[in-house]
Amino acid sequence: MDTPGRADFDGPSARGIEREHRARAFTLAGLRDLLRDYGVEHGRIFDEAGLTAEEFEDGLAWVSLEKLARALTIAARVTGDRHFGLKHGTRGRFTINPLGYLMANACDVRTGLRSFAQFHPVIATNQLEFVESSAGAKIEWSYPITMSNVVQLTEFVMMRFVTRIRAAVGAHWRPVAVGLMHRQPADLSEYERRFCQRVSFDQPVNSIAISAATLAQPMPNADPQLFKLVKRYCEDEVERQKAVDHPLNRIRETMIRCLQHGSFGPKHVAKELGLTPNSLHRRLKAEGTSFQRLLDDTRRCLTHRYLLESSLKLTDIAARVGYSELSAFSRAARRWFGISPRSFRRSAPNLDAAA
């Protein structure tokens, strides 16, 4: 049996020219102090992750989201603490985060979280939504399928949201439920202690469920005038980001959402984008690709992540990437990776050990 090389497991590179996903440098604020508590010098973490100290002199500078995720993964490995991301999420202080100011000065928790999701592109380019219902709401987010080893980053962000809400409504607040995209670890006690008893893994998106009663809680130190000023800044910044974002990023993210709902043909994707199928075709052609080529690459990247980072059954992975029959999915995986999906998963390194 042919064994794939290490590069096959390090993360699928997008077969296109999408702009690299980014986040603000302040995401790692406080990381140096936390590493110092473990007796670890931050320089070795940054060097291995491909980051430089100069990149963090300006907290509002853009840096590679993939490198940020890698830095947290390396930190977890070097310190030997698989819950490093959770601890960084608790201890990190982000005094120059405009969305932190926006949320803190909203009239209530609902408005704060809704505004955070609306203006999320100000601080990062990955997908994040605030989904409301009569029972409450969910914060849902994911990372580009071209990125691997996002466990620590995911748990850091989860803990940051929980910490922010607790700052508003009280230290004993707990979510209704949380969902994580990565595989379930053997010991759930740390998640149950920090979040709640309803913690699910292998989910389609990362999520935090919040009750309607919590959403109605007022923000304790809200300043309406400051909220308006920060909101205006965020509106201007979002418009600037739209001008530089690559169109393939948005199309690929829309394809992923459509795959999750089971309707992923050109008509469905175009409708989600607010385009006609012909307009979508022209945009893809202008970027040197086609609908089928981008869809195939999106399925490949999703499969790569599910095989390495989840414990989903192959039939469930097949369904999530749009294959109704396991045989068709297996043929596609063999074309992508050179071996069967079962063999690919067996041959993969244990990412949990590095997470």
Q: For 17-21, 69-73, 88-92, which range has the lowest pLDDT when averaged over its residues?
A: 17-21
pLDDT digit string, tens, across residues 202-222: 999 999 999 999 999 999 989
Q: Which residues are CB-neighbours of 113 under 8 A, at least 6 positions away?
A: 103, 130, 137, 139, 210, 215
Burial bucket for residue 35 (CB in 10 Å: 0-12, 13-18, 19+): buried
Where does the pLDDT of residue 145 fall: very low under 50, low under 70, confident under 90, or very high at 90 and above?
confident
| Domain map (residue ranges) of the chain | 86-241, 246-354
Considering only residues 346 and 68, tell me which one the structure prediction assigns the higher pLDDT: 68
The arrangement of secondary structure in 246-354, i.e. its CATH architecture, is Orthogonal Bundle (1.10)
Q: Is the pLDDT of residue 138 over 60?
A: yes
Against a cut of 0.75, is the pTM above it? yes
Residue 73 near residue 354, CB atoms below 8 Å: yes
According to the model, what pLDDT value does residue 348 have? 65
**Predicted local confidence at residue 354, as pLDDT:** 43
Answer yes or no: is pLDDT of 82 > 80: yes
Q: What DSSP letter does each residue of 141-196 carry, written as one string?
A: E---TT----HHHHHHHHHHHHHHHHHHH-TT---SEEE-SSPPPS--HHHHHHT-
- Which tokens belong to 238? 């979002």
